Chain A
Amino acid sequence: MNARTRDELRVAIFDVLAAIAPEADPSAIAPDKPLRDQLDIDSFDFLNVIVRLHETLGIDIPESDYGELATLDRALDYLARRCSAG
């Protein structure tokens, strides 16, 4: 797994969210507020987010870590950690 910059990860997350919630405006997302509430993402679409992040970044996110993706800031921290862990 390759380490990725925070900006690369941000782009990757926005790409995934654009596919799930195309009507959403990424720049309007508050980075410290719950992502799913802001984008109206249900459990089915959240699983799709996890699947797409897996495809894009090559990391397998266990269910027990789903809470790490609660906000944009936390998701970026978590994904940066996972991607650099090799």
Chain B
Amino acid sequence: MASYEFQMPSLGADMDAGTLVSWSVKPGDAVKRGQVVAVVETQKGAIDVEIWQDGIVEKLVVEPGAKVPVGALLATVAVNSEAAAPAAPAPQKPAAAVPPAIAPAPAPPARAKVSPAARKLAEELGVDVSTLVPGAADGVISRADVERAAKGAKPPPKAADWHAQMRAAIAAAMSRSKREIPHYYLATDIDVTKVSDWLAAENLKRSVTERLLPAVSYMKAVALALREVPELNGFWSDGAFKPSAAVHLGMAIAMRGGGLVAPAIHDAETKSLDQLMADLRDLITRVRGGRLRSSEMSDPTVTLTSLGDLGVDGVFGVIYPPQVAIVGLGKVGERPRVEGGAVVVRKVVTATLAADHRASDGHRGGLFLAALDKLLQEPEKLR
């Protein structure tokens, strides 16, 4: 049996240390690749941290409440040496390739709900529930959260701090992007009448809870089109482009009260529309009420930003370093189009691409938008 070192991950370009809030495993427990084993409080909020190795927990090195640098040993895990796989998103030290500078999602206090038992306990212990962040993914403040706060664990930031920190994180990432990345921008209008009609017919067959949002068809089409132009999907690091085989689609999600995050939906190109819808629902729900996972924060390979059905016609995005492209979708609206010499009314969306000119050229970017257009003309094949 070999020993695997579980380290403090980097959850953003400006993170150099994190505070271990709690362990969800103990020595002797079996852990599986991808399992959430700890909660880490960063400057920007609490994040569920996953482990990327199967094995048995040997020793928890760091106690809850301790603040340790990125890369510090948190725990050792006994692994079958033959089965030992390379740690997938290996923890990156600040000196190594720069991880994406994306603001993780702290739970905004304005949205937190409090269980009646927790509220009662908070009154007894003199804890201000408005300062608490829910510990569980359901976004509800529990007795455990109140107890943790009462024990003097570092209180999560209040709303004002939280907004200031999120703005600072966005400012840092976007300033770096505009300083370092030579963006080029492309736009094209895509006739989405077919995919809109297909979705309407599909949703007619479905119950309320199973309905698909148009976003999932676009997500799938974007992921598939990236396969055809792989130089838009991956990272720019150490002066070179490193393509990614899988499309981990960062979804720009607005938070209530301002700010945004862009966590990843993993392997989007391989997922069904139903799976993408389930993943999107899970992601947005956790962004707005619960907590994100470390891998979602650290490994989107490209970002999709959609300003929604009430928004603007088009969006020219700012790339999240070290990604090399951001795809934008405006609102779908009826517009006049000329077909066969006649003016007809069609549902149209303006699709845009902002891409890193170090990694790709406008010609290739144009091929991506053309591939996206083509895929959206055959919505029944996007399933």
Whether B308 pairs with A43 at a CB distance below 8 angstroms is yes
Known: A23-B256, A44-B280. A61 touches B310 (CB 8 A): no
Answer yes or no: B62 CB below 8 A from chain A CBs.
Answer: no
Known: A22-B110, A36-B310. A42 touches B254 (CB 8 A): yes
Known: A22-B111, A42-B254, A44-B213. A37 touches B208 (CB 8 A): no
- The residue that B208 contacts in the complex, of A23, A36, A61, A64, with Cβ under 8 A, is A61
Interface set, chain A 46-86, CB cutoff 8 A to B: 47, 50-51, 54, 60-64
Answer yes or no: A3 CB below 8 A from chain B CBs.
Answer: no
Q: Within the complex, what minimum Cβ distance (angstroms) separates A66 from chain B?
A: 10
Whether B204 pairs with A43 at a CB distance below 8 angstroms is no
Answer yes or no: A12 CB below 8 A from chain B CBs.
Answer: no
Answer yes or no: B237 CB below 8 A from chain A CBs.
Answer: no
Residue interface bits A10-44, CB-to-B below 8 A is 1, else 0: 00000000000111000000000000110010111
Answer yes or no: B228 CB below 8 A from chain A CBs.
Answer: no
Answer yes or no: B38 CB below 8 A from chain A CBs.
Answer: no
Whether A37 pairs with B110 at a CB distance below 8 angstroms is no
Known: A36-B310, A43-B308. A60 touches B207 (CB 8 A): yes
Q: What is the CA–CA distance of A62 and B308 in the complex, to the nearest angstrom?
A: 20
Q: What is the CA–CA distance of A14 and B381 in the complex, to the nearest angstrom?
A: 40
Known: A43-B308, A63-B200. A23 touches B257 (CB 8 A): yes
| Residue ID in chain B nearest A23 by CB atoms | B110
Interface set, chain B 208-240, CB cutoff 8 A to A: 208-209, 211, 213-215
- A61 to chain B: which residues have CB within 8 Å? 208
Answer yes or no: B249 CB below 8 A from chain A CBs.
Answer: no
- B257 to chain A: which residues have CB within 8 Å? 23
Answer yes or no: B175 CB below 8 A from chain A CBs.
Answer: no
Answer yes or no: B203 CB below 8 A from chain A CBs.
Answer: yes
Q: Within the complex, what minimum Cβ distance (angstroms) separates A79 from chain B?
A: 14
Whether B211 pairs with A21 at a CB distance below 8 angstroms is no
Known: A42-B308, A63-B203. A47 touches B110 (CB 8 A): no
Answer yes or no: B284 CB below 8 A from chain A CBs.
Answer: yes
Besides A22-B110, A22-B113, A36-B310, 12 other A-B contacts (C-beta < 8 A)? A21-B256, A22-B111, A23-B111, A40-B256, A43-B214, A43-B309, A44-B284, A47-B211, A51-B209, A54-B209, A60-B208, A63-B204
Residues in chain A within 8 A of chain B (CB atoms): 21-23, 36-37, 40, 42-44, 47, 50-51, 54, 60-64
Residues in chain B within 8 A of chain A (CB atoms): 110-111, 113, 200, 203-204, 207-209, 211, 213-215, 254, 256-257, 280-281, 284, 308-310
Supply 21 A–B pairs (Cβ within 8 Å), ascending by A: A23-B111, A23-B256, A36-B310, A37-B310, A42-B308, A43-B213, A43-B214, A43-B215, A43-B309, A44-B213, A44-B280, A47-B211, A47-B213, A51-B209, A54-B209, A60-B207, A60-B208, A61-B208, A63-B203, A63-B204, A63-B211
